[in-house]
Amino acid sequence: MAARSLDAYLNSADGLARLSAHAGRLVKLQRVFEEIAPSFLAASSRVANFKLGKVVIHADSGAVAAKLRQMLPSLIDEFSLKGAEVTEIQVKVQPTHGAMQHKKPGQAPVVGASAKAGLDRLATALPADSPLKEALGRLVKRSR
């Protein structure tokens, strides 16, 4: 049995042909979106779906989504000028894994030598049973 290309396989059955055509439309809409949207917004959002003239765009953050929503009328016009039959755009916040960055656990705070000395003096001036004294002591010990 000869090896067939992935494209030939996708186009062989009705369901797969429709899926392939839909994926092709999404790729084209994404390229148009990257052309018409400001680059800082296009880098933080992507075309997620298209159905009956409605484009769904996923934004990495609420701020990006808000800015895109402000631009909806002009984006719809620009899509139309580029030949896409877009009548509505819906923007949803869907952060990508790369957009969700968390602070690494266990990072020691960076405190300068003079600040360390000042915190240490403050800690020694506090009462022995003070929770602040304990916290300042831990901060001074953990800091780089």
Element (H, E) at 93: strand 88-93
Q: What is the pLDDT of residue 126?
A: 87
Q: What are phi and psi of 45, to 5 degrees?
A: -155, 165
pLDDT tens digit sequence for 42-73: 999 999 999 999 999 999 999 999 999 999 99
The structural domains of the chain, with segments of one domain joined by +, span 6-99, 102-144
Q: Helices in the chain by DSSP H: which ranges?
A: 6-12, 14-36, 39-42, 62-70, 72-81, 113-125, 131-142
Does domain 6-99 correspond to CATH entry 3.30.300.180? yes
How many alpha carbons fall within 13 Å on the CB side of residue 130?
Answer: 13
pLDDT digits (tens, 9 = 90+) for 68-95: 999 999 999 999 999 999 999 999 999 8
Q: What is the mean pLDDT of residues 17-34?
A: 91
